[in-house]
Amino acid sequence: MTSLAALAAELDRVRRYGYATSFEQLEAGLHAVAVPVFDPRGEVVAAISASGPSFRLTRRRAEEIVPDLAGAAAELTAQLGR
């Protein structure tokens, strides 16, 4: 992200879809996807993520695994009392 407007747009997208992605933003050839874990007040206290080389964790595959990550995050959220 190189501008405040781009960051704001990305944060809106993350809130809307419930997960974040990084496609070669941190390092060339690296993709990642992450979902939040909430505390009892509904605050984000952690995240569960998966990352890998772009040839294995393609954009499509990253979106396909979101439900599995979200399920694991929901279990942790429940264990924290929410």
Q: Mean pLDDT over all residues of the chain?
A: 95
Helix (H, G, I), strand (E, B) or coil at 34: strand
CATH label of the domain that carries residue 25: 3.30.450.40
Residue 10 lies in a domain: no
34 close to 47: Cβ distance less than 8 angstroms: yes
Q: What pLDDT shows up at residue 57?
A: 97
pTM of the model: 0.87
What is the distance between the terminal CA atoms of the chain, rounded to a whole angstrom? 32
Residue 9 inside a domain? The answer is no
Q: Quick: pLDDT tens for 28-66.
A: 999 999 999 999 999 999 999 999 999 999 999 999 999
- What share of the chain has pLDDT > 90, as a percent? 94
> Is residue 67 situated within a structural domain?
yes
Examine residue 13 and state whether it is found in any structural domain, yes or no.
Answer: no
Res 82 pLDDT > 80: no
Instruction: Name residues whose C-beta falls within 8 Å of residue 57's C-beta, 6 or more positions apart in sequence.
Output: 31, 32, 33, 50, 51
Domain count, the chain: 1
